[in-house]
Structure 1
Amino acid sequence: MDVSKAAQSLSGSSAGALKAGSMLHLIEGGADALAALSGLIADAEAGKHSHAIVASNASLRAPIPTPRKNVFCVGRNYAEHIAEGNRAQKQNIGVTEHPVFFTKPPTSIVPPDGHVLIFPTVSESTDYEVELAVIIGSAGRNIPKASAMDHVFGYTILNDITARDVQRRHGGQYFKGKGFDGSCPLGPWIETADAIPDPHALSIGLKVNGEQRQDGNTADMIFDIPTLISSLSEGMTLEPGDIIATGTPSGVGYAMEPPRFLKDGDTVVCEIQGIGTLSNNVRAI
């Protein structure tokens, strides 16, 4: 779709953002750019121009295919997930006083219907974790909880693929075991914040080959989204397009008896109420 028509009605950075055409530029363009794009879509649906909104043979990319930064992730943010992990590892860490943060590199991003990669010579314990991902819309540092939601552009689905054995091999720290290529399916799109009245009341689940593995609700987060944004932004600027994965409910493979990990050819489908489904196939390389 030609966005120059909408850009003509804007000025300064908003016009440039819409003309640039990428999701990151749209987010940076703020409310004016988003309103202009909505106008273009409305015109297309009304038949006011000939460009199709989505070509019939198009395939979706990840909504932010190449983030400027690593994806920010939150560990241990659902009580039942903490409990199942404690049982599986025969430990009792419990709930932490502050959120646990780690990151996944941009090279881990996978589009909808793309391949989750597993590396049998490196890991024999590749796992899944469905998560609600928050997309930051406006920059901020030391953001108060009271205004944290004002910095949210929207929400999408993220699957935090994890090589559990690699994670343990490297002292239990998160980055290496969660940073493989193909370990961060993202999508299918971003629902803007106004379309999700309460992100803390969404059903969230995951199926492997049609079998329900995870089935929870974002209401069960230990640290809510304002707390996560406020804590993460302490002394560190969050910028438009930054991605924050908010943790996963119980039902992960390593905590099952016996453990059940992903294998070549599996289909993994994540679903979050109000957003949609994110489907990916597993490929061993």
Structure 2
Amino acid sequence: MATLSGLCVLLLAALSRAVAGDNVTPVYFTDGDVLTLNVTRSDTKPIQNILWKFNGNLLAERVQNKAPLELFGTFIGRTDLSIADARLVVRNMSKADTGAYSVEINSKVHAQSYDAKWIKVLRQPEVVMRPLTCSPVSESCTLSCEADTTEAGPVTHSWKMGVNQLKVSTKDMQINKTDHVNDETITCLISNPLGEQVSAPINNPFYVAPTNNTPGIVVPILLVLCVVVVVVVVLVLWKRKLGPFKNRDATKTVSTTLSPLGGVSGTPSEEHGLTEKGVNETA
């Protein structure tokens, strides 16, 4: 019976460790960062005491209404602990702070823990083309996104062809003259949990500039010009055709209204009488 009880205790302990292991959250930092560790609780009971540990050693402890915050070791003077939600904040992190962070709430080990890892900030990568003799006459070329990623943590790579973001998660990528003629430039991106760095763009050896497709614009312009020319010619011809008729009408009007002497003419009889009267008076 005692053996069975001992076996049950071992099984429960192993199960607890397995559950705790499933809740280990990796977090990343670099020199000078602020590390914030939040705790997710399903228990609604008020927190009476909190104990944080770093690699199994005491880090911070606080007891509600009984003892103020107590810090230990290298965490003194740069650590805060919230009694309300058990959140731990550590400032001015360094590589020495790499390790496991666990917490006990109300004297019980919480399932959630953290694995804090120090990593380097990424530097700008460079696109390297292989072979170096890659040219428009080549069938294909290999691109490599080169950067120092030592101790940079998990690093992902992606590529941008022209303005199109490609979902490529490898350091190297192959291009060819068939599928990449429309992409003028090539850029690579690398990222880690601390941020992202983008390379300077390089020219794509397989890029083919689009031809100047002007007919689509020229044709409508030419049509409009033709219409304008036709309208102008028609107007000119119309005016020229009506010109003699307008002059003839004007001549007729003048001849019937003006006398040879520049006065106003009347009827033939009146004009004859006036002439005779003038002769008689003169005589």
TM-score normalised by the chain length of structure 2: 0.24
Higher relative contact order (CA 8 A, sep 6+): 1
Q: Which has the larger radius of gyration?
A: 2
Structure with the higher fraction of residues in strand conformation: 2
